[in-house]
Amino acid sequence: MMNRRKVLEALKERLTDEIVISTYSTASDWIDMSDRPLNFYSNGAMGLASSHGLGMALARPERRVIVLDGDGSLLMNLPTLVTIGRVAPVNFTHMVMCNGSYEANGGHPIPNQDVDFEAMAKAAQIEKTCTISAMQDFTGRLDWLLSEPGPIFASLQIEQGPLGPRSYKEMYRAERRQALRDALGADAK
Amino acid sequence: MEANAEADASVLHGAKIIEAVKQAGIEYVLSVPDLHTSRGLLFPIAEDPDLNLIRVCKEDECLGISAGLNYGNKRALILLQYTGFLYAMNAIRGVGVEYKQPSVLMIGMLGKEPGVLPQDSKRFGLRIIEPMLDVLGIPHIHIETDADIDGITPAINKAYETPFPTAILIGGKAI
């Protein structure tokens, strides 16, 4: 099992101009550690981080799009794997923080903690997949995760983090979404 | 002759709807199949070289994908049945309305009686669509025949310029 903040710290050290989409508990850690215009914090409907990422990957094929999902969130939108497997954007990396828990909602367990998310991604015809449970393995694969033509799916086995609600108000400010638009040169508000 | 003229006035051509969608700069269509729009819209869209069709599994996926595309200045149409609109309500609320995304919802009104306004339909599920859009504050237009198609392009453009969701109810069955 890995510590989520250590995973994110290692990721942060390797980033350049990638778009990073995060959600719930991972988003809370990520904004603390790497507050940058090219971040998008998925909100509004649990599970749609990967769908946002798919759209951005299609619209901005010159950039790598990294989705930092949660296992509870992915379960809310599991068919996204089928859609991603079909559309298959090469600039798309989907990392799922798996701790078997709806951590942001009090730490309740997901319905089945023995679910094999990598196998699900494989079954959805996402060919490049992995399951990582040790930091050394994660850092060793980071170049592959960030530069190999995708789509890539990675199930990251992590420890449960702090329980309960955190303040999402700061990360969901409209100014942050505008900063992403500005960084991408998007015209619309 | 008069009978023919009346018959023509009740026709809705899918090709004209698609042309209006393209005039608004739509490049992507995100869709779960709907019998009401299957023949007149979805099959032709699938064959249209100017449109990228992404077939999704659930309607709420469309809200995220459409928003993501918008961050790269790509316009998308979400083509779904009214039941899918009801299913995706939380995503429409959260991503479209509260995040002020230009989610363009083209909603097939399967089972609506020809020439009858949605609020007057005998079907409960159809009668509640416009009131629910009103609660969400989403502007909507109703397309029953070719005469209504002129409203489509401006509605889409306004959604992207505002930005805010819009809904285009396909009441007539497109051919």
CATH number at residue A170: 3.40.50.970
Range(s) of the domain holding residue A162: 4-184
Q: Which class for B86: exposed (0-12), middle (13-18), buried (19 or more C-beta within 10 A)?
A: middle
Sequence-ordered list of residues with C-beta below 8 angstroms from that of A167, at least 6 positions apart, any chain = none
**pLDDT recorded at residue B2:** 44
Q: Is B99 on the interface with A (CB under 8 A)?
A: yes
Q: Are A118 and A58 in contact, with CB atoms under 8 Å apart?
A: no
pLDDT tens-digit map of A77-128: 999 999 999 999 999 999 999 999 888 888 889 999 889 999 999 999 999 9
Residue A68 φ then ψ, to 5°: -105, 95
Q: Give residue-wise pLDDT tens across range B135-155.
A: 999 999 999 999 999 999 999
> Is residue A105 assigned to a domain?
yes
Contact B55 A83 (CB under 8 A): yes
Per-residue confidence (pLDDT) for residue B25, from 0 to 100: 98
- φ and ψ at A168, to 5 degrees? -100, -5
Q: Work out the number of other CB atoms within 10 angstroms of the CB of residue A136.
A: 9
The structural domain count of chain A equals 1
What is the CATH number for B71? Answer: 3.40.50.970
In percent, the amount of chain A with pLDDT more than 70 equals 95
Is B175 a member of any domain? no
Residue of chain A whose alpha carbon sits nearest to that of B101: A189
Residue A189 lies in a domain: no
Q: Closest Cα to residue A92, out of A163, A145, A162, A160?
A: A145
Question: What is the count of structural domains for chain B?
Answer: 1
Q: Please tell me the distance from the alpha carbon of residue B59 to that of residue A79, in angstroms, as a whole number.
A: 10
- Which range of residues forms the domain containing residue B83? 2-170
Whole-prediction pTM = 0.94
A99 domain residue, yes or no: yes
Amino acid letter, residue B153: T
**pLDDT profile of chain B (175 residues), mean per 10:** 52 96 98 94 97 97 97 96 97 95 97 94 97 98 95 98 97 91
Instruction: Tell me, yes or no, if B102 comes closer than 8 A to chain A by beta carbon.
Output: yes
Are A186 and B60 inside 8 Å of each other by CB? Answer: no
A115 lies in a domain? Answer: yes
